[in-house]
A and B are shown apart, each in its own frame.
Chain A
């Protein structure tokens, strides 16, 4: 079926004239109609826009003016990226009616390269969560629930980019884009058996993507193969004059660097990522992947990152502080949910403070409010020194520790999540256990490093397990080469879920 194609295979078929973008897009739209009521990957399916963009692509192709290798390829976009004229919600009621007046830099790049917007995917509210359960939208209408894992509909898809991961896994798009603040690309990629890359901080512009924690957020590709991730990353990357933290470094031709099966590199296995709490089946699958790399010629060495144990604590101080600040603009004055729009004759005389507090109390979900409170607390006078400022210092130490390790090894290899996908409601009652499910992905973001999750195998219950490759700053090419080599000798990434 056409919807099963990758960017690579679809672009070849488009180039040869075997298929048209409209056919490809229609195939995906039909697939969405067939299964998305079960999976619930999308908040908004952009049928009209998609077909229009696909037709335009086919026109370009006819006149020999295609824009790039992704021209005509349908791509799903996490509903955190602003899309001009198309409702963008961050999966929060506070932006239920928000129609952005401008386009995010990343999606603008994609459309400029001819890609087709297929829809806006579900996510944890404002990207806060690890299961997509904090979304305000029950997109899986058949179950009246948030997004479900295509591999087992009783389980969550991971989060926060759960909709994008489920869409890629269930062939509801050719590829998707997500964002990763503490694992939000990698963890759902792992739980849904797709490839997800979190680039180096500064590789991809953040302009037009709703900020969760500005010093940690980074957008990245979520694809069916490593090869596709390499292709998509190229179009997402590059300096943006609207984002002062985006890098001016040249963007390599990532996909042309792929190919080698001989891995002449030194891969570190950090023991702290294999500690207590790691599911034995996950442990076994990752060890097998490591053996595979050894067979392929990589030198495997044990390494230690003793400060990693503080990373989760540092993250859950720094992240909420930035969250509490970044969400302050949702105040019910200029856009979004406002009590001023919901006044009744009985209730129409709020003070300014009430407009703020009622709009925010009714608009934000519980997790957003929890993090606003946490962040406000640890950055308030009298506590900022003990928490926020100390966490900043530890962040620097963690970063230095990674830098030292990467003087010795080319890459680190580790699991992505301590366990496979869990069931709905399993962790929502205990936020701390939910936070702990991020323990293996979170340390990467404060250090700004690139890291990728790719399919490494399945548990006895046929639940996917991802492998995490962590690189030094700007080490995307090495990560992609190494991941691609793995997919040349394994077929985990080719497995498809059977959606019942």
Chain B
């Protein structure tokens, strides 16, 4: 089974975590889910709705500007072209979760097009990593549909999700293996979540959903028998009993984990290869599902006809001009900017294994940048290592004084323990002074606990002896005794650590 070439294209839906829905001001449920899981469970069906997302007569959509801005921002981060004008279109089909009988989407003038994303892939031939470029066809914005709930023989509709902003990213068929599809998605998730920060991008919660198309081609083997190309869609191939060179397309829809996507694609790939040379003469497409329980794929819909959605420009929404947005500002977060960051870090001799992690996390990068420019670039590798190992992933405006004090710690605090604690305190909203006094307090606390622990061990010689001969469960006894001795004020974790050292 050699000389097969696999072609995979992906369509990725990303729910944007805006405050309100795409075309009305109802609470955006994906955001509610992202912020508070318990709350989302308590949201009753059809309570986050209004005339607009219910599709009542006379209701009109008003576009969410933040969602548009975030889509453009994502486009810029993915090296897309941002056209001067974009517009919304209506996509028509009937389904109970689609209240208006059409979905407001974008047809021929999306907010972003023709981008790319580079991926590192392991070469088959050597240990060196190759770089491949996955081209992106487009990024457009649309509204999500509601949810159908099938219960006791009845079907119910919950429209809380209807109208959630949904960004659709469509790749070109540049992906050549299931593993590469997984790598692409992981990188894309990182970008939308950590670089442009437009979505929690959790696959489990349905913030990020992926449809994958896969087909397999048989590469040409030089042959004297061969008499020219066999056209897809013609029946020439079968009549002349020459092998058809391309399989059907299998689409796998709504997969909710990276691992399942890779597994489902692997199964589909195996299936298509195994069917050679009996590939259908006419290009066909089937939809298959994936069963994770027994790692198998199953047919959902055979031979799909291309649906006619009768797209036409949404008359209720004026076209959107990109000039309404500050593209330069949005561009700060683009790949171009990322490359500048990477170059900067390389110049500072930050080890390569830290660079990617630092630049893909805005909060960490900002802190790194400030600390190093204050403390001196000779500390760059060390600060980078620290921040990657202890990624804070949070953005805060550090004051100049805080930065200069933190930078002092970079230089003086050899163990970096106090530095990390100080950063943690400041990120939690405390001032540097408070942070330092708390750290100092903790230090005195440490000394006191040391005394308490020593006292506890001296006061309980029998237990100490039993522990030493192997009765390890007495550890808890000492912890309890120490905390009692401190009248409950000692930090149990600290007590644990010090006790361990002493014992």
Q: A interface vs B, CB < 8 Å?
A: 81-82, 88, 90, 95, 98, 100-102, 104, 206-211, 213-215, 241-245, 321-322, 324-325, 327-331, 333-335, 352, 356, 376, 379-381, 384, 388
Contacts and interface: CB of A to CB of B under 8 A. Distances in A.
Contacts of A242: 52, 60, 62
Interface in B54-111: 54-63, 90, 92, 94, 96, 99-102
A333 B58 contact: no
B54 A334 contact: yes
Contacts of B61: 244
A102 B56 contact: yes
Contact of A334 (B55, B90, B316): B55
18 contacts: A82-B57, A101-B56, A104-B58, A207-B59, A208-B51, A214-B315, A214-B316, A242-B52, A325-B92, A325-B312, A328-B100, A328-B102, A329-B55, A334-B157, A356-B94, A380-B308, A381-B310, A384-B310
Given A210-B57, A380-B308, A101 B51 contact: yes
B54 A210 contact: no
A215 B315 contact: yes
B60 A90 contact: no
Nearest to B52: A242
A325 B316 contact: no
Contact of A328 (B58, B92, B306): B92
A244 B310 contact: no
Nearest 7 pairs between A and B by C-beta? A328-B101, A215-B315, A214-B315, A208-B58, A210-B57, A381-B308, A379-B310
A334 B56 CA distance: 9
Contacts of B318: 244-245
A215 B60 CA distance: 12
Contacts of A384: 310, 312
Given A100-B56, A208-B58, A331 B310 contact: no
Contacts of A322: 312, 315
B1 to A, nearest CB: 39
Contacts of B92: 325, 328
B312 A379 contact: yes
Given A214-B315, A325-B90, A384-B312, A241 B62 contact: yes
Contacts, number: 100
A123 to B, nearest CB: 14
A7 to B, nearest CB: 25
A334 B97 CA distance: 10
B317 interface: yes
A244 B60 contact: yes
B62 A329 contact: no
Contact of B317 (A244, A324, A333): A244
B57 A100 contact: yes
A329 B102 CA distance: 8
A244 B94 CA distance: 25
Given A207-B59, A244-B63, A102 B51 contact: yes
Contacts of A356: 94
A255 to B, nearest CB: 28
B60 A243 contact: yes
Contacts of A209: 58
A391 to B, nearest CB: 11
